[in-house]
Structure 1
Amino acid sequence: MEFRGDHKLNIDAKGRIAIPKKYRDYLQEEHDSVLYVSYDTGNECLNIYPKQQWLKFEAKMMSLPNTNPTIRKMQRLLIGRVNEQTLDAQGRINVGPQHIERMQFGKEVILVGQGRRFELWDKANWDHDGDESLNEAELQELGELLPDFSF
């Protein structure tokens, strides 16, 4: 199953969000209801991975040479601060107080499907980010990175 679209959610007083119902059965059957909440290195959001996707990502991250200080720092940020959660009976996970505080999330957040993972954004940041489009330099870079891709 691929995760697509964006979903407006609220963070409750205990720091929980409800994963949309259409994904819950899949997450329960294929990923033992386990999700991993981790930081994103380039955006003001969190990444939420289903168990099997996280295990692949983590293995790839840990295969990198940790003799490089930048790689070690990235491993500490992404793996050392990951928050493992299991869906509760109402389909909720706890985002984690340290994650909420660091991202400065308000009550309203947006859960964005990104294929095999989700991104979790503060609604105001998502709305602002959504107002921006790719500039000419970014489009040029994409053209070089993806020469056979067309819109």
Structure 2
Amino acid sequence: MLRGAHAIALDTKGRLAVPTRYRDWLREECEGQLVCTIDIANPCLLLYPLCEWEEIEKKLKSLSGMNPVERRLQRLLLGYASECELDGNGRLLLSAPLRQHAGLDKQVMLVGQLNKFEIWSETRWLQQVDEDIQALPEMDWTISDKLRDFSL
């Protein structure tokens, strides 16, 4: 179970040190293999253990390439998907295009979301938390039928 928000410094090569409490679990669950892609709704990255990502791929494969919204979702999530492996020191290398998309520089937040992590720039994370708290009472929860059961 991935949860909690962790402030982490990226090194000069763009590597993120996964908190120690998750390293053994990730090595056991997915042999340290993860997949990182963009979040289509927020300026952050999504980091999945490989076994979780494979479930997402099945869902993406089931979407229609003829529906422009569904095709766009496939294009973005799969197009940015990058395999990452925990190194011997528990670090992951985030590719330059992924870091650029999320506006990551030195200080990032690794945020557990049960089956995945979100990776945010620390500044954007703090802004997003404030916005989320303020927006909750006014949100429109309507979504398309096709995407209702689609979870990332």
TM-score of the superposed pair, with normalisation by structure 1: 0.87
Q: Deviations over 1:120-144 (max 9, x none)?
A: 0000001111223134322x749xx
Assess if the C-alpha contact under 8 Å between 2:45 and 2:118 holds in 1.
yes
What is the CA RMSD across the aligned residues, in angstroms? 1.5
- Identity percentage over the alignment? 37
Aligned positions, number:
140
Q: Which runs of 5+ in 2 are unaligned?
A: 143-152
Structure 1 unaligned segments of length 5 or more: list them. 143-151
Q: Could you tell me which residue of structure 2 aligns to residue 116 of structure 1?
A: 115
Pair 1:63–1:21, CA change in 2 (3 A): same
Give the corresponding residue for 1:33.
32
Q: Does 1:68 align with 2:67?
A: yes
Q: Give how far 1:115 is off.
A: 0.4
SS where residue 105 of structure 2 aligns?
Answer: coil
Q: In the alignment, what sits opposite 2:128? A: 129
Alpha-carbon displacement from aligned partner over 1:107-130 (angstroms, at most 9, x marks no partner): 100000000100000000011112
Contact 2:38 2:101 in 1 (8 A): no
In the superposition, the TM-score normalised over structure 2's length comes to: 0.87
Structure 1 moving runs of 4+ over 3 Å: none
When Rg is computed on C-alpha atoms for both structures, the one with the higher figure is 1
Report what 2:18 is aligned to: 19
Aligned equivalent of 1:57: 56
Distance 2:107 2:10 in 1: 6
Aligned to 2:149: none
Task: Give the residue type in structure 2 aligned to 1:123.
Answer: E
